[in-house]
Structures are given as structure tokens and as C-alpha cells.
Amino acid sequence: MSDWRLNGQEEYLSNKTLYKITFPAFWETAYKGKNAFFQKIERYAKEHVEATNRGHEYLEGEKIQHFWHEHCEFCWEKALTDKTGTFYCTEDMYHWICEECFDDFREKFGWLVKSAEELLL
Ligand SMILES: [Zn+2]
């Protein structure tokens, strides 16, 4: 029997390097260092505010984190910067996988794991 969570992810997630991300620590580091993850959120937030002419107040300080969330590629579990949890993401930070799905599919997909620090070098 096939798993309901599997839906063609092999095409883009097989044998990928994934980076282990723990929230909220990952966000706190990003915010302090204004690193690539912070810049990704900032870019998106600015585009959103510009396009809609709303939400300017969210561009100030830590509130900007609320412009970001992702879903697990398999079970749709939500990743948030201020919700405690562990996720695994691809190098472009585009695909996210929750811990449970990671454990279940790790062998099938042949993932290589690196640390969050390596992602932001
Ligand atoms: Zn999942």
C-alpha cells in the first residue's frame, strides 16, 4: 500500500542535501545576523507591502517574521519561525520537510543531512 503523503516528490527531492533547521533558534540567529534567511523574508515582505500597500508596520523589527511560513512537502505540517519544531530544508530553502516525514522517508529518498550553520556559510 502506498503512503498518502507520497505524491511525486521523488522527482525533485531524491538524493538531495537537506539542512536541519530548528525553530525558533534558526529565526533568532537569522534576525541577529541579518543572514540569507532573514533577507529572503525581508525581500518577500517588501514585495508584499509594495504590491498591496498594506502591512508596513510589519517591516519593523521582529514582526517581519510573520511574512514567512512553509509547509512540509509530504504532510503539509506548517513551519513557523516562532513555533518550536525541527524541519529539514533544501539548499534554496524552498522545500521543507517535517521531522516525522524526514524520519519516515529518509532511506527511501537517500537524503544527506547537513547542519543549519552549513546552509548559511
Ligand atoms: Zn511532514
Distance CA 79, CA 55 (A): 21
C-alpha of residue 11 to centroid of ligand 1, in Å = 17
C-alpha of residue 74 to centroid of ligand 1, in Å = 5
Distance CA 46, CA 21 (A): 24
Per-residue pLDDT tens for 56-102?
Answer: 999 989 999 999 999 999 999 999 999 999 999 999 999 999 999 99
pTM confidence score: 0.92
